[in-house]
């Protein structure tokens, strides 16, 4: 496999679209015909891993590039951490959505200097292809493919086969308490049902930084003291008991960041 920093630097609309198709084909292999090997490589015990697709229709699971900033936009970080915390098909669907987002990011990174008509032609060419999510989930191609990526949570709630356990996004609270970052606070003197309603209303727009699930009051959450994002405890392998002893919690993404070096 190639290294994570490889770039072909395409210049024209046709070259960028060819680059897009090659990377897309590589990621589709990882999520379909070569899925067993992809699943095996995404070991949750390893460091933050990304899925890369390359123009030669190959793929690689690897650590993110060390350059700051990176040469190209980076794929979703830490996909391996959520592997065993979700049903397999739901995890693959989640990786597929992130893969679509990354493919578009790379294509328009190359196409940022195109004029309006060139950008439109590039997007129309991309939009003629089914998304990675469409292929992985067996959906029929839809006209507005970009909306599939944006509205992934809504589509899952309307599809009984999506199986994301109807987990709305991550919030800054637990079921019975407002945690102070890593440490859960004692429960206030309220009825559970009243607290759940209040928590979900207050934190309904909070999402897990790993799996993208939205907040529900019956799950344990932990907040990063660095980036202030919130995570399912199961997604980052932190239990309530372990959280009691954490003075400052750093999420997998922040733990993996390296400070830029200066001459």
Looking at residue 251, its pLDDT comes to 85
Question: 33-90, pLDDT tens digit by residue?
Answer: 999 999 999 999 999 999 999 999 999 999 988 877 778 899 999 999 999 989 999 9
Confidence of residue 135 (pLDDT cuts 50, 70, 90): very high
Looking at residue 263, its pLDDT comes to 45
Confidence of residue 206 (pLDDT cuts 50, 70, 90): confident
Looking at residue 98, its pLDDT comes to 96
Is there a contact between 55 and 22 (Cβ–Cβ < 8 Å)?
yes
Q: Cα–Cα distance between 47 and 62 in angstroms, integer?
A: 9
- Supply φ then ψ for residue 194, to 5 degrees: -65, -40
Which of 2-11, 25-34, 238-247 has the weakest average pLDDT? 2-11
Which of 27-31, 210-214, 221-225 has the weakest average pLDDT? 210-214
Task: Report pTM.
Answer: 0.54
DSSP character at residue 71? S
Looking at residue 90, its pLDDT comes to 94
Q: Cα–Cα distance between 9 and 201 in angstroms, integer?
A: 46
CA distance readout (Å), 254 to 45, 172, 226, 229, 259: 17, 18, 7, 10, 10
Higher pLDDT, 224 or 4: 224
Q: Is 50 helix (H, G, I), strand (E, B) or coil?
A: strand
Q: Is the pLDDT of residue 208 over 90?
A: no
Question: 136-191, pLDDT tens digit by residue?
Answer: 998 754 443 433 333 444 444 444 444 333 333 333 334 333 443 444 444 555 55
Count the neighbouring beta carbons within 10 Å of the beta carbon of residue 70: 12
Looking at residue 179, its pLDDT comes to 44
Write down the domain spans for the chain. Answer: 13-137, 206-257
End-to-end CA distance of the chain: 32
Looking at residue 211, its pLDDT comes to 81
Higher pLDDT, 121 or 173: 121
CA angle, residues 46, 133, 172, in degrees to nearest 5: 60
Higher pLDDT, 262 or 109: 109
Looking at residue 149, its pLDDT comes to 38
Confidence of residue 132 (pLDDT cuts 50, 70, 90): very high
Count the neighbouring beta carbons within 10 Å of the beta carbon of residue 81: 27
Percent of the chain with pLDDT over 70: 69
CA distance readout (Å), 168 to 14, 77, 157, 165, 206: 40, 20, 9, 9, 8
Higher pLDDT, 261 or 258: 258
Write out the H or E segment, with its range, that includes residue 230: strand 230-232
Domain 206-257 grouped into CATH 2.40.100.10: no
Chain-wide mean pLDDT for the chain?
76
Q: Is the pLDDT of residue 213 over 70?
A: yes
DSSP tally for the chain: helices H, then strands E: 10, 4
Is there a contact between 92 and 136 (Cβ–Cβ < 8 Å)?
yes
Is there a contact between 76 and 102 (Cβ–Cβ < 8 Å)?
yes
CA gyration radius for the chain?
20
The number of residues making up the chain comes to: 263
Is there a contact between 167 and 219 (Cβ–Cβ < 8 Å)?
yes
């Amino acid at each position: 496999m190639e290294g994570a920093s490889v770039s072909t630097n395409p210049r024209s609309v046709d070259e960028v679209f060819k680059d897009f198709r090659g990377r897309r084909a590589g990621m589709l292999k990882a999520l379909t015909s070569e899925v067993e090997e992809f699943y095996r490589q995404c070991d949750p015990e390893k460091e933050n891993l990304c899925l890369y697709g390359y123009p030669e229709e190959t793929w690689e699971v690897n650590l993110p590039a060390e350059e700051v900033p990176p040469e190209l936009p980076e794929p979703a970080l830490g996909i391996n951490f959520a592997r065993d915390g979700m049903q397999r098909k739901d995890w693959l669907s989640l990786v597929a959505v992130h893969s679509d987002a990354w493919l578009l990011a790379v294509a328009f990174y190359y196409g940022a200097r195109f004029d309006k008509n060139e950008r439109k032609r590039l997007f129309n060419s991309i939009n003629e292809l089914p998304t990675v999510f469409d292929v992985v989930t067996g959906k029929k191609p839809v006209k507005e493919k970009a909306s599939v990526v944006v509205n992934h949570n809504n589509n899952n709630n309307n599809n009984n086969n999506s199986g994301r356990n109807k987990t709305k996004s991550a919030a800054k609270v637990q079921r019975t308490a407002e945690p102070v970052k890593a440490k859960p606070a004692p429960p206030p003197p309220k009825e559970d049902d009243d607290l759940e309603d209040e928590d979900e209303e207050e934190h309904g727009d909070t999402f897990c930084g790993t799996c993208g699930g939205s907040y529900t009051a019956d799950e344990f959450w932990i907040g990063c003291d660095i980036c202030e994002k919130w995570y399912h405890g199961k997604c980052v392998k932190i239990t309530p008991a372990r959280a009691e002893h954490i003075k400052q919690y750093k999420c997998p993404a922040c733990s993996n960041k390296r400070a830029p070096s200066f001459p």
